[in-house]
Structure 1
Amino acid sequence: MTSFFDSRLEVLISLGQELQAEDYRFTTVTPTTHARVNARPENSLAGDLQGVFGWSRPFPDALISERMLALLETGGLLLRQDSQWRSAVRWSSLDGQLFAHSAYPTVETDAVFFGPDTYRFAHALRQHVLSGEAGTVRRAVDIGCGAGPGAILIAQAYPEAEVTAVDINPRALDFTRANACLAGIDDLQIRQSNLLDGIGGQFDLIVANPPYLLDPQERTYRHGGGEFGAGLSLRIVETALQRLNVGGTLLLYTGAAVIDGDAPLRPQLDALLTNRPVSWRYDEMDPDVFGEELDCSAYQQAERIAAVTVTVKRLA
């Protein structure tokens, strides 16, 4: 089966290079903030590159260069909206690098999301590496890689390591491939996999930034399943327990619904990890994320959703 971006990889890389040459930068916000900002009358049309490739606003063809317009058209990434155009791809910046991902709004079931969670995940990963907690890394994997920031950051931090990016969503792998090429990484292993099914061997470092919400549409990038969206996160911990080398670590960035002051995720993790040869830590990174979800029936018992990191080290 032809992958979504098989014929567009070079187009994406070229477009990214064009944006780099223009010193394009864009910090991606939550979908709710995005909708509010775009709803302002003065933002109905894009007025610059950030409006086109960051805010995903409609634009007249004269706004961007002929080269960029031609690249979008050649790659099938140019959408018609009334008498204007829209880009079907979006670009966000992180650590001085650009990452291609799905345009706003991310309504498709296979959309590839990049946003504030990505920035928090990258921060946690940098701290994990810089603190030395990750130890010696010869083999690493990013489970549910999305647009690839985790795997790319690991490959840059450990240039001699074998780094694999896996995702169940083929579209995510296409974006990862383009972003890795744009970052100058040509040896990243990119594989389609449900968790680590079909991926052999043990790892010194496993990282994951999985979906952790209960999404009525069960979109791949958003739906965590299980109790309050924690199902996929718990499966990742279970998988890591079997696949970490002695001394290896798991860094999981996820979300946890909080009910009457406590997150059900914590005792669930404790049940998984007690009496195992591991040390582990649960840290609340941000006490309140995706507050709009509290209006949904699935979260009627919750008082907040926290962004958390779970760090697990295998001792024996």
Structure 2
Amino acid sequence: MEQERPDTEDALVALIERVQKTGYHFTTVTPASHARVNGRPDAAWARDLRDILGWTRPFHEEIVAPELLAAMRCARVVEPVDGGLRATIRLSSLDGELFLHSAYPPSPMDAVFFGPDTKRFVSAVTAHLAERKAPIRRAVDIGAGSGAAGIAVAKRAKGAEVLLVDINPAALRAGRINARAAGVGNIVLQQSNLLREVEGHFDLIVSNPPFMIDRSGRTYRHGGGAYGEGLSLAVVEAAAERLAPGGSLVLFTGSVIVHGEDLFCDAALAVCAQAGLQVTYREFDPDAYSEELDDPAYAVADRIALVVLTATRPA
């Protein structure tokens, strides 16, 4: 997304609120599924608002209510294409809110990603919050992207300071806009590589870091390390240093299983054991993103599992 002026951000918040009032709802799928659905013969042009702001299909302006099209233009989120127009953002539904993120395909280096893993991640975070008894005074969402998880925390821990941290300025803009649209005021935005530019300790750290091997090196997707686990392990290491007594890390990530071994699990548990953290680790989904296994980078991989690691420092 392009650099936003303050007045453009106001217009984007107003647009989200206007779209919300229409009853709009959209569940974002993976890019692979998105490509398949948009490749159907009847999907060449948008027929409704979901096609425009969800599926990123080109549209003819007469299918949009004039006041809504004016709001889109005011927010600077439409661009001309051959024979019509195209939205430059998407809006996705989660936790009773609409979240602004990058249009399809999310190919720019600074794309703000939102997909099925966002929903899974927020589900893991809210489940932890429902079980947690200790108060949250300070929380951080590392690699916050659209801010969905941090905003979910801020809605449920209204007295807490909740930081949205990301290395990507475009993600921080999206997080700020989404927080405003959700009506949460206890959000602080900070550009940072992990927690390097952030001080202090936290009662709750949540993160859904990139975990793929991405040859383009896109910020939202490339995890680094041998199999994409580098950033996930770095989050565990940061949490081991910065969790307050009684504080917890909720990490949702992917782990490449090689010859039956979960190498990320072994490394993460070793870090937690050294720091004296109590850990639970489970496979959320044993086999995800199977199309990635065709990449030579995964030549020895059995599968890519989605996992949830929760680590807690004793009070």
Shorter-chain TM-score range: over 0.9
- Alignment CA distance shift 1:39-1:5 (3 Å): farther
What code does the residue aligned with 1:183 have? Answer: A
- Rounded to whole Å, the distance in 2 between the matches of 1:255 and 1:196 is 21
- Alignment CA distance shift 1:6-1:210 (3 Å): farther
Match of residue 307 from structure 1: 306
| Contact 2:158–2:186, Cα closer than 8 Å, also in 1 | no
Match of residue 274 from structure 2: 275
Any idea what SS the aligned residue of 2:107 has? coil
- Rounded to whole Å, the distance in 2 between the matches of 1:183 and 1:118 is 16
What code does the residue aligned with 1:77 have? Answer: V
Any idea what SS the aligned residue of 1:62 has? helix
| Contact 2:251–2:308, Cα closer than 8 Å, also in 1 | yes
Any idea what SS the aligned residue of 2:180 has? helix
| CA apart distance, 1:307 | 0.6
Any idea what SS the aligned residue of 1:298 has? helix
| CA apart distance, 1:76 | 2.5
| Contact 2:292–2:298, Cα closer than 8 Å, also in 1 | yes
- Rounded to whole Å, the distance in 2 between the matches of 1:39 and 1:65 is 26
Deviation per residue, 1:91-139 (Å, 9 max, x gap): 0000221000000000100000000000100110111011126x32111
- Please give the residue correspondences for 1:109-148 in structure 2 after superposition, counting only pairs within 5 Å: 109-132=109-132, 135-148=134-147
- Rounded to whole Å, the distance in 1 between the matches of 2:139 and 2:198 is 12
Match of residue 65 from structure 2: 65
% same residue: 45
| CA apart distance, 1:5 | 5.2
- Alignment CA distance shift 1:235-1:5 (3 Å): farther
- Alignment CA distance shift 1:5-1:122 (3 Å): farther
**Number of equivalences:** 314
Match of residue 47 from structure 2: 47
Match of residue 92 from structure 1: 92
| CA apart distance, 1:70 | 1.9
- Rounded to whole Å, the distance in 1 between the matches of 2:231 and 2:105 is 24
- Please give the residue correspondences for 1:257-296 in structure 2 after superposition, counting only pairs within 5 Å: 257-296=256-295
| CA apart distance, 1:7 | 4.1
Deviation per residue, 1:128-153 (Å, 9 max, x gap): 011126x3211100001100111100
Residue 187, structure 1, aligned to residue 193, structure 2: no
- Rounded to whole Å, the distance in 1 between the matches of 2:22 and 2:226 is 45
- Rounded to whole Å, the distance in 2 between the matches of 1:275 and 1:57 is 50
Where structure 2 has 5 or more consecutive residues not aligned to the other structure, the ranges are none
| Contact 2:159–2:186, Cα closer than 8 Å, also in 1 | no
Name whichever of 180-189 and 169-178 sits farther off: 180-189
| CA apart distance, 1:294 | 0.5
- Rounded to whole Å, the distance in 2 between the matches of 1:95 and 1:189 is 20
What code does the residue aligned with 1:75 have? Answer: A
Query: RMSD of the TM alignment (CA)?
Result: 1.3
- Rounded to whole Å, the distance in 2 between the matches of 1:192 and 1:3 is 15
* TM-score, length-scaled by structure 2: 0.97
- Rounded to whole Å, the distance in 2 between the matches of 1:68 and 1:196 is 40
Residue 26, structure 1, aligned to residue 26, structure 2: yes
- Rounded to whole Å, the distance in 2 between the matches of 1:20 and 1:271 is 45
| Contact 1:5–1:171, Cα closer than 8 Å, also in 2 | no
* TM-score, length-scaled by structure 1: 0.96
- Please give the residue correspondences for 1:7-26 in structure 2 after superposition, counting only pairs within 5 Å: 7-26=7-26
Any idea what SS the aligned residue of 1:227 has? coil
Where structure 1 has 5 or more consecutive residues not aligned to the other structure, the ranges are none
What code does the residue aligned with 1:89 have? Answer: I
Residue 252, structure 1, aligned to residue 235, structure 2: no
Match of residue 215 from structure 2: 216
- Alignment CA distance shift 1:54-1:196 (3 Å): same
- Rounded to whole Å, the distance in 2 between the matches of 1:186 and 1:126 is 19
| Contact 1:141–1:207, Cα closer than 8 Å, also in 2 | yes
